[in-house]
Amino acid sequence: MLHPTPHEHHQTEPIVEIRNLSCGYGSYPVLSNITLDIYSGDFVGFLGPSGSGKTTLLRSILGATNIYNGEILIDHIPISSKRPRIGYVPQLQTIDWNFPVTVEEVVLMGRTMNSILFPWHRKTDTEIAYAMLSKLGIANLGKRHIRELSGGQQQRVFLARALVSNPNLLLLDEPTTGVDIKTRDEVMHLLHDLNHQGITILLTTHEINAVAAHLPTVVCMNNTIIAKGSPSDIFTPQNFLKTYNTELLVIEHQGMTLVAESPHLDAESRTERDS
């Protein structure tokens, strides 16, 4: 079991400030009226159905959407005026696993802008990359092709790429989707460790019990923010109804607030249950 204890806040100033944000792609709006503060050391999960704008919110922070209204500030500076130092880990499903690239080459991509004037990576870049791989326990895999790794190792490679640029903020898009239970636990423990080392983490997830319930802060969203707080505060049938447009049964189990996922019932059983 994970420990939903956030890294202690030493700063009272927010690292990310989202003010009345409405944004989308082209003329297609996705998010409206989002106001949210993220503080240094926070570990926040965005929860919501497909198409609810979780990924769009991360992409907005990265400056990759059309902002129709409002603004986003990172360290009090609008993202439109200065590119913030952010580590980003994409969904593993979007990676081209047949691309001829080794673990070392992928991690070094994260150092590209640190030595842009040099055609090749400097020795110090390689040392930093291997130090990060070592920290994540996969230094021995540096020369391996990315397809030859397990799901957990693959996630660590892309985490290492994000971390070698020394970001203040780490964004992860569904880091546990499509991986087995063991890998999911590995990844979540690793993220908690990184958070306890002071890195602010924002992630999106579909997994209420396995991921969101273990996080210190969760934001329920459906094109706008429905609720923000600790799982025990915001995991309520009312909030889930607004988020998923369906009723979910909320239970307490060993001190954790979880959702009871009921089996598929036929019409007769549903009537019996509802009565």
Partner 1 sequence: MFEPLQYEFFLRGLLAATLVGGLCGLIGTYIVLRQMAYIGHGLSHAIFGGAVVSYVLSINFFIGASAWGFLSALIITLTTRRKEIAADAAIGIVTTASFALGIAIISRYKTFTRSFDAALFGNILGVSEQDLWAIVIVAAISITTIILGYKLLLFTTFDKEVAQFYGIPTGWVDAGFSLILAATIVVSLQVLGVTLIASAIVIPPIVARLLTNSFMRMVILSSVIGSLCGLFGIYLSFYIDVSSGATIVLFSTAVFGLVMAYTAIRHKGQIKNISNFSDL
Question: Where do contacts with partner 1 occur on this chain (CB under 8 A)?
Answer: 62, 64, 83, 86, 88, 90, 94-96, 99-102, 105-106, 108-110, 112-113, 115-116, 119-121, 145, 165
Q: Which is nearer to partner 1, 36 or 86 (CB)?
A: 86
CA distance 112 to 87: 13
Nearer to partner 1 by C-beta: 12 or 98?
98
Q: Tell me the closest approach of the beta carbon of residue 100 to partner 1, in angstroms.
A: 5
The distance of closest approach from Cβ of residue 233 to partner 1 in the complex, given in angstroms and rounded to an integer, is: 32
Q: What is the CA radius of gyration of the chain?
A: 20
CB of 155 to partner 1, least distance (A): 15
Closest CA relative to residue 138, chosen from 125, 124, 150: 150
Which of 223, 178, 228 minimizes the C-alpha distance to 51?
A: 223
Residue with Cβ nearer partner 1 (146 or 191): 146
Whole-angstrom Cα distance, residue 218 to residue 33? 18
Nearer to partner 1, 109 or 139 (CB): 109
Taking the complex as a whole, the smallest distance from the CB of residue 206 to partner 1 amounts, in Å, to 21
What is the rounded CA–CA span in Å between residue 260 and residue 246?
Answer: 13
Q: CA–CA separation, 6 vs 25, rounded Å?
A: 33
Residue 154 CB, nearest approach to partner 1 (Å): 14
- Give the residue with the Cβ less far from partner 1, 68 or 99: 99
Contact (CB, 8 A) for 36 and 228 = yes
